[in-house]
Structure 1
Amino acid sequence: MLTWLLLILVLIALTILGTWFWGRIFGRGEVLPPMDEPASVIRDNRELIRGGDVAGVRFEMVTRGYRPDQVDDAIATLQAELAQARSELTQPRPDHHA
């Protein structure tokens, strides 16, 4: 009985040391570096959308997905750009006859 208790304690100690050692070598598993402040992320996303680079838009990760304020702002900016493009397409063009 004492052997089993000692074996379990050694296994727990090895698990703790192994986890610590693994974390020190390979890191905590963070895939991306921390993003800028939320206001600058929103500003950068607006500039990307207005420049036509929708694929470059990035959002900050939170517990259950992305930051809603950043996503909402990107959608609003896309809607404004789409409305502007539609209005430019529907405006009559002046005829230039020489």
Structure 2
Amino acid sequence: MKTFLRPSLIQIILTFALFALSSYLWRSYVISTISDTFPWGFPLQFYLAWGPCPPGEVCSESNVFYLIIDIVCWYIVSACLIPAFGRKPDNRQGA
């Protein structure tokens, strides 16, 4: 279990690539269906803005806890993907 979650460069890169890609795709989907909300983050929205925003008001909110949960979720997903795609088939012939 310890080797499963041990960070490596490829695992960290994959984590942030999945994090960015999923956030961007979720944002694109939400913007295409609901025109006045602008989220970032998937599976949890750690940043959300909406509009039109009247002058002098804050029309956005963010949550650092959701950001941390998102990164941890994608780290676990990448920890599962690296061994699954990194295995080489056994080419030994039967005896």
Give the TM-score taking structure 1 as reference length: 0.34
Give the TM-score taking structure 2 as reference length: 0.34
Which has the greater radius of gyration? 1
Quick check: which one's strand share is greater? 2
Quick check: which one's helix share is greater? 1
Greater RCO (Cα-Cα under 8 Å, separation 6 or more): 2
